[in-house]
């Protein structure tokens, strides 16, 4: 084998590079691993500052691919120190003869792709050029220390230490005056130990971080027992978990328990000494600000109880950003350190550093001399080490330039324009939001399997398609947008590096979901990739995930319940089932007033519920019709949605029941709907509504009733309507639209359930009547302005779209919202699905616009 032309060049000999080298060799690929440092270990080679440890428990932060390691290696502590983890990496490298495959003290400086040879040429700091078919950046997410952006750093004459590049033979601070700049994870780990030696320690803090105690010690007995019992199951659970650690996700909202109970639960988590325990106590810490405050308040109260000086305690207390949206830290005596008389905290917000000087630091109104300065100023995370190499892909495009406005990748593994380039734990993959060992192993195995499969099928290049990459970007954004992360200036968001684009760099959809997606990409013939070879080319273009992540979670959860299909029930059973499901929903926001009453329908009284806003009236009024396929539901069955619309749009809602099938078949519902509308209009003033501002609204079959009522009002002399809001409406009884096939199953409302509804509601001959199928009305002109909301994963999608288009073609003003990634039911799930908030907000805005 020529050393200057290999199958794969791997950059980096941390855990990722080591495992990849092993797998490449096992599968017969020639390779070179190039590493800047002079030993293996990556993170654990460079970060030798005092107190450096992993903060994911070492039962979880270790390789699983070599089962022998579990017997050969035992960790001395729950959170092992850097020297121990480094020894572990060295042990693995020695055991598997990996040292022989690594070029140390060799930095990769450039890489150029050639379309002609279908190879990369890699240039090293030693001036060597190596050609390779595949090029893997295993360069680490936290391997590029960030240059401190502080004036005067080059003036200081004394020793300067950077936590991420700590001297190998250690530093003795005994008797010294030491400054530590930064209070991120490395600082929080090292400050207590530096304080033990230093005569004087001044800590410069810009933003306080949340830190939880490690309570380090032996491995927890319950964890050891679980591993002994069934290691395989434990590891499988980790791989499919949210963060790569097998923690049972909570199903309790922080807002649903009494404050004392919440405190007790958090105290238990605090005592566990696990990085993820506090955040995992409640289901909504990452998505709801009020829920997050419960945890944040708890930690602040802990800080206040530990730190004796109230002013210092307050300075150390994070405020203004949610817990978990900056990487939480783990410490041993961090907060206690500030009780020592020789330790001082400086708040850079009130006393900024004016300049580093020859002998110390000028800050605020002071000038202090120091014997040593420690920079714990963090990393250019996720992309820093990748774009530090001049990577030139197809047509001379560099990755740095392509990513100027934010990294674009497919799966965080690959990028358009850079064939055969792979990144391990790259931006757009779970990476730093996970137990990295789990993520590293998954990436290495995916790359390995991909290379093997390409070789078997005779393909030489693999490159994602622009559509797949854009789809992945959108999916990452969908995942991020339902969390609290985007509001915080964190290194997750690139905010710590001036000029870095502001996006959430890691994928926040969870390790388990991510793994399933990668597996699905492979199983679907490398969906979203183009593969080329001398014999064949294959492009399987597509987007792997468009469904909203929280909607997907609900569907997954429902799938585990094994619920019987509604269409297998009798109408009576279906009604009972629907009522039982409604009973366990969050109630929705409080409204000013709710009044139940009855009004005259076409053939007898109909119940209604009036929702009135807290603001002063008279309010415009929306006559609302519930969903339930004309078979079940009632005037109160869409209660959370009605409350939400009432509050958000500041309108009165009258939710009306109507007669149900099969007892009362077509056109009972339609006639009741119109009768109710007439009654509300006639009584508007006496009910406290503005009689000149009336609209109709409805969801699903209720959307059908609303659309029909609007047509009847036009054709029968009123009332005059200001608008119609139709949420995923039924508009066409023919059910011939493609979405009935595309979304036939798996999204709650199924094709067969829709058929069941129609069979109960209307004879086939009646279904083309416009009072059953408003889309089939011969004339749609003269109808009130409409907002039509359709959902991507709804069997009714296309008939809703068709109605919006037909209305528009007839000259009706239409706002048409195609809710991406939503199902027939998801938009109604108030206080359950964050992704359903924007569509409902748009619906409320439409109501406001209807009423001027
Ligand atoms: C202080 C600290 C504590 C951490 N604690 C945890 C934890 O508790 N749990 C957790 O999951 N993760 C933790 N991490 C994240 C940690 O980085 C990963 O867990 C893991 O070690 C990354 O392994 P890696 O092989 O992907 O990258 P790294 O270990 O970063 O290795 C990358 C290697 O690539 C080399 N390299 C980079 N660029 C080049 C180049 N151009 N040419 C040649 N070589 C290059 C670097 O020298 C480095 O050795 C921690 C990180 C830090 C900094």
Q: Are 807 and 786 in contact (CB under 8 A)?
A: yes
CA angle 216, 218, 221 (to 5 degrees): 115
Average pLDDT over residues 677-691: 97
Residue 586: its pLDDT value, please?
87
The rounded Å distance from CA 621 to ligand 1 centre is 60
The rounded Å distance from CA 181 to ligand 1 centre is 22
Residue 348: its pLDDT value, please?
97
Ligand 1: which of 40, 139, 329, 506 to mutate, most ligand atoms within 8 Å of CB?
A: 139
Q: Whose CA is nearest to atom 4 of ligand 1?
A: 54
Q: Which of 308-322, 555-569, 611-625, 665-679 is least confident?
A: 555-569
- Beta-carbon neighbour count of residue 69 at 10 Å? 15
- 744-776 pLDDT, tens digit each: 999 999 999 999 999 999 999 999 999 999 999
Helix axes 549-561, 466-481, angle to 10 degrees: 80
* 716/711 Cα distance (integer angstroms): 9
Residue 117: its pLDDT value, please?
96
Residues with CB under 6 A from ligand 1: 11-17, 34-37, 42-43, 45, 47, 52, 54-56, 61, 107-108, 138-143, 186, 385, 389, 424-425, 435-436, 440
CA separation (Å) from 179 to 308, 365, 803? 22, 17, 68
Q: Whose CA is nearest to atom 29 of ligand 1?
A: 42
Residue 376: its pLDDT value, please?
96
Name the DSSP class of 423. E
Residue 341: its pLDDT value, please?
98
| Residue whose C-alpha is closest to residue 829's, from 697, 699, 702, 649 | 699
Of the pLDDT bands very low, low, confident and very high (cuts 50, 70, 90), residue 11 is: very high
Of the pLDDT bands very low, low, confident and very high (cuts 50, 70, 90), residue 1 is: low
Residue 759 zone, left/alpha/beta (φ > 0; ψ -120 to 50; rest): alpha
What is the rounded average pLDDT for all residues in the chain? 96
* 590/9 Cα distance (integer angstroms): 60
- 331-379 pLDDT, tens digit each: 999 999 999 999 999 999 999 999 999 999 999 999 999 999 999 999 9
Burial letters for 132-161: b for 16+ Cβ neighbours within 10 Å, e otherwise?
A: bbbbbbbbbbbbbbbebebeebeebeeeeb
CA separation (Å) from 513 to 113, 292, 301? 32, 23, 35
* 545/517 Cα distance (integer angstroms): 8
Ligand 1: which of 23, 36, 43 to mutate, most ligand atoms within 8 Å of CB?
A: 43
Average pLDDT over residues 77-96: 97
Question: Does 249 have pLDDT greater than 90?
Answer: no
Residue 251: its pLDDT value, please?
87
- 553-606 pLDDT, tens digit each: 999 989 988 888 999 999 999 999 999 988 888 899 999 999 999 999 999 999
Average pLDDT over residues 205-216: 96
Average pLDDT over residues 65-85: 94
Of the pLDDT bands very low, low, confident and very high (cuts 50, 70, 90), residue 849 is: very high
- 134-153 pLDDT, tens digit each: 999 999 999 999 988 899 99
Question: Does 487 have pLDDT greater than 90?
Answer: no
pTM of the model: 0.94
């Amino acid at each position: 084998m020529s050393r200057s032309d290999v199958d794969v060049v791997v950059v980096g000999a941390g855990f990722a590079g080591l495992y990849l080298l092993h797998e490449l060799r096992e599968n017969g690929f020639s390779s070179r691993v190039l590493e800047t440092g002079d030993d293996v270990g990556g993170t654990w080679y460079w970060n030798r500052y005092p107190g450096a440890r992993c903060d994911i428990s070492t039962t979880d932060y270790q390789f699983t691919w070599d089962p022998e390691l579990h017997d050969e290696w035992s960790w001395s502590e729950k959170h092992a120190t850097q020297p121990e983890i480094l020894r572990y990496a060295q042990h693995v490298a020695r055991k598997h003869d990996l040292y022989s495959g690594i070029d140390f003290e060799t930095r990769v400086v450039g890489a150029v792709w050639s379309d002609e040879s279908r190879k990369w040429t890699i240039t090293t700091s030693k001036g060597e050029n190596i050609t390779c078919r595949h090029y893997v950046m295993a360069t680490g997410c936290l391997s590029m220390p960030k240059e401190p952006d502080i004036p005067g750093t080059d003036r200081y004459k004394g020793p300067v230490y950077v936590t991420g590049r700590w001297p190998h033979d250690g530093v003795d601070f005994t008797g010294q005056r030491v400054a530590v700049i930064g209070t991120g994870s490395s600082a929080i780990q090292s400050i207590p130990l530096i304080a033990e030696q230093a005569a004087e320690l001044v800590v410069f803090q810009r933003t306080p971080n949340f830190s939880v105690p490690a309570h380090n010690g032996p491995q927890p007995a319950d964890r050891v027992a679980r591993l002994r019992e069934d290691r395989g199951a434990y590891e499988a659970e980790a791989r499919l978990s949210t963060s790569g650690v097998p923690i049972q996700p909570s199903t309790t909202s922080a807002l649903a328990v009494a404050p004392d109970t919440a405190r007790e639960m958090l105290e238990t988590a605090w005592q566990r000494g696990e990085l993820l325990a506090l955040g995992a106590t409640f289901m909504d810490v990452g998505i709801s600000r009020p829920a997050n405050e419960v945890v944040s308040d708890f930690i602040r109260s802990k800080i206040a109880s530990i730190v004796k000086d109230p002013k210092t305690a307050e300075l150390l207390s994070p405020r203004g950003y949610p817990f978990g949206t900056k990487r939480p830290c783990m410490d041993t005596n961090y907060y206690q350190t500030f009780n020592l008389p020789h330790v001082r905290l400086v708040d850079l917000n009130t006393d900024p550093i004016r300049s580093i000087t020859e002998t110390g630091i000028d800050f605020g109104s002071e000038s202090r001399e120091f014997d040593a300065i420690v920079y714990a100023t963090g990393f250019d995370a996720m992309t820093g080490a990748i774009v530090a190499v001049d990577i030139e892909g197809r047509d001379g495009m560099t990755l740095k330039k392509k990513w100027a406005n934010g990294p674009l990748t497919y799966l965080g593994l690959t990028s358009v324009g850079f064939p055969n380039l792979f990144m391990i734990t790259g931006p757009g993959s779970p990476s730093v939001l996970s137990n990295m060992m789990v993520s590293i192993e998954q990436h290495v195995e995916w790359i390995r399997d991909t290379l093997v499969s390409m070789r078997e099928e005779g393909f030489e290049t693999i490159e994602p398609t622009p559509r797949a990459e854009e789809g992945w970007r959108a999916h990452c954004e969908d995942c991020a947008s339902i969390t609290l992360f985007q509001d915080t200036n964190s290194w997750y968001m690139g905010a710590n590096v001036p000029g870095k684009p502001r996006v959430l760099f890691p994928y926040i959809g969870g390790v388990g979901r991510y793994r399933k997606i990668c597996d699905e990409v492979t199983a679907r013939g490398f969906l979203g990739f183009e593969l080329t070879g001398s014999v064949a080319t294959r492009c399987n273009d597509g987007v792997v995930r468009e469904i909203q992540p929280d909607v997907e979670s609900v569907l997954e959860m429902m799938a585990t319940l094994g619920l019987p299909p509604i269409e297998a029930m009798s109408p009576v059973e279906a009604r009972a089932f629907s009522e039982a499901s409604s009973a366990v929903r969050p109630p929705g926001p409080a409204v000013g007033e709710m009044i139940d009453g009855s009004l005259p329908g076409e053939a007898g009284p109909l119940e209604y519920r009036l929702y009135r806003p807290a603001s002063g009236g008279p309010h415009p009024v929306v006559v609302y019709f519930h969903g339930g396929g004309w078979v079940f539901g009632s005037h109160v069955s869409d209660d959370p949605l009605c409350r939400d619309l009432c509050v958000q749009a500041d309108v009165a809602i009258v939710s009306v029941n109507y007669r149900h099938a099969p007892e009362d078949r077509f056109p009972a519902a339609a006639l009741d709907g119109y009768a109710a509308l007439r009654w509300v209009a006639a009584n508007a003033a006496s009910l406290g509504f503005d009689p000149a501002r009336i609209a109709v609204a409805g969801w699903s079959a209720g959307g059908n009733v609303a659309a029909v009522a609007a047509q009847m009002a036009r054709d029968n002399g009123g009332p005059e309507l200001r608008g119609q809001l139709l949420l995923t409406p039924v508009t066409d009884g023919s059910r011939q639209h493609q979405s009935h096939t595309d979304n036939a199953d798996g999204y709650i409302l199924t094709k067969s359930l829709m058929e069941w509804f129609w069979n109960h509601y209307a004879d086939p001959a009646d279904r083309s009547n416009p009072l059953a199928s408003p889309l089939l009305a011969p004339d749609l002109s003269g109808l009130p302005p409409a907002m039509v909301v359709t959902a991507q994963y709804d069997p009714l999608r296309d008939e809703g779209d068709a109605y919006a288009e037909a209305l528009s073609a007839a000259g009706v003003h239409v706002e048409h919202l195609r809710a991406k990634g939503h199902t027939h039911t998801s938009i109604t799930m108030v206080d359950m699905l964050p992704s359903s908030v924007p569509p409902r907000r748009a619906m409320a805005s439409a109501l406001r616009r209807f009423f001027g």
